[in-house]
């Protein structure tokens, strides 16, 4: 029995959490583990403590039970898809109150912040890693749907270079459980509502090219994006559209939050953007990373972000 299942077996009260602004991999991994535990272990009290994910993921079993409040009486805390304590947001306090903690993650910038850390940065996703820790025969359709969702989203529908033969084999094994995988990809990865599509068009219209077309970036202030959409999660995918422009090596997208800070997303074809994100106080993967920065967008671009991008492109 691996250590994760051993700790689950010994615990009565279990808290499952992940990073702030949960994406497909974070949502999928937390709900996959929730379903696996509740279906295979008797007499366990399990809570998923997480910022509410996008409603496009509401088809996953357990979605309606997600609570944003920390569970401070856990025997075991399982953190999924978070690279450091700060990424847990207000739920990071559970690390101080849980009797045992385990971190399962695939970010190269992981700080090994839990009592036990299972970190494999070569994995396409945390969902792929989590799959390897579970008993396949005990994975239900509900759990498989969650795991598949996370793999699809963090692999860019199997396009990113983190995708391996094992990634594809795991995805195939999950499909064998029996669910509409085409619908999951269409509904959660490609489809946008009308206003979100118009906002994407605005970003692309105003996007800028730098460094002989090797960098493309877009910026949205708070008043602009909230004039189109009511949920920041609907901006998912904008960064990928910037990266998909011919000749672009590094793409950058920044949007202003209601707190006056800017959320920065970086994507690349072959360059290391995690080093840029880390320098900005964030982190992530070599080719997909992000950070939160403070200041005026034009000054941040001119004095910090674009010079670092140029240095990476020239390196």
Q: What is the mean pLDDT of residues 167-195?
A: 96
| 157 and 214 both lie in a single domain | no
CATH number of the domain bearing residue 293? 3.10.310.30
What's residue 20's pLDDT?
Answer: 93
Residues paired with residue 264 on neighbouring β-strands, in sequence order: 254, 291
Res 1 pLDDT > 70: no
| 138 and 181 both lie in a single domain | yes
Confidence of residue 248 (pLDDT cuts 50, 70, 90): very high
| 185 and 244 both lie in a single domain | no
Confidence of residue 281 (pLDDT cuts 50, 70, 90): very high
CATH number of the domain bearing residue 20? 3.90.1640.10
Local structure of residue 78 (DSSP, 8 states): E
CA 150 to chain centre: 8
Over residues 230-244, the pLDDT tens digits come to: 999 899 899 999 999
Confidence of residue 135 (pLDDT cuts 50, 70, 90): very high
Res 193 pLDDT > 70: yes
What's residue 72's pLDDT?
Answer: 95
How does the average pLDDT of the chain come out, rounded? 96
Over residues 145-178, the pLDDT tens digits come to: 999 999 999 999 999 989 999 999 999 999 999 9
| 180 and 293 both lie in a single domain | no
Number of domains in the chain: 2
Residue at which a domain ends, from 189, 214, 245: 189
**Domain extent at residue 278:** 194-314
Res 284 pLDDT > 90: no
Q: What is the mean pLDDT of residues 256-265?
A: 93
Q: What is the mean pLDDT of residues 8-27?
A: 97
pTM of the model as a whole? 0.90
Place of tokens 């396409």: 124
| 180 and 57 both lie in a single domain | yes
Confidence of residue 94 (pLDDT cuts 50, 70, 90): very high
| 107 and 219 both lie in a single domain | no
């Amino acid at each position: 029995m691996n250590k994760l299942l051993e700790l689950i077996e010994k615990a009565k009260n279990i808290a499952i959490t992940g990073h702030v602004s949960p994406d497909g991999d974070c949502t999928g991994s937390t709900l996959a583990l929730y379903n696996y535990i509740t279906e295979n272990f008797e007499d366990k009290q399990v809570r998923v403590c997480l910022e509410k994910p996008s409603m496009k993921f509401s088809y996953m079993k357990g979605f309606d039970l997600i609570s944003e409040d920390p569970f401070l009486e856990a025997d075991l805390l399982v953190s999924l898809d978070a690279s450091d304590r700060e990424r847990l947001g207000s739920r990071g306090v559970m690390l101080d109150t849980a009797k045992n903690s385990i971190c399962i993650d695939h970010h190269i910038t992981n700080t090994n912040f839990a009592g036990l850390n299972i970190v494999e940065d070569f994995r396409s996703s945390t969902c792929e890693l989590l799959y390897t820790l579970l008993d396949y025969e005990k994975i239900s359709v509900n759990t498989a749907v969650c795991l598949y969702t996370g793999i699809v989203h963090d692999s860019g529908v199997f396009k990113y270079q983190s995708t391996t033969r094992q990634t594809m084999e795991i995805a195939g094994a999950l499909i064998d459980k029996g669910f509409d995988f085409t619908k999951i990809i269409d509904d959660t990865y490609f489809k946008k509502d009308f206003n979100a599509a118009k906002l994407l068009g605005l970003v692309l219209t105003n996007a800028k090219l730098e460094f002989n077309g090797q960098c493309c970036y877009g910026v949205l202030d708070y008043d602009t994006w909230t004039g189109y959409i009511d949920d920041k999660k609907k901006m998912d995918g904008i960064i990928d559209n910037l990266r998909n422009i011919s000749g672009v090596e590094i793409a950058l997208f920044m949007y202003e939050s209601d707190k006056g800070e800017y959320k920065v997303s970086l994507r690349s074809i072959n360059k290391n953007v995690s080093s840029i994100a880390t320098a900005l106080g964030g982190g992530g993967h070599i080719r997909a990373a992000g950070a939160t920065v403070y200041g005026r967008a034009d000054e941040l671009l001119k004095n910090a972000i674009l010079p670092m991008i140029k240095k990476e492109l020239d390196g």
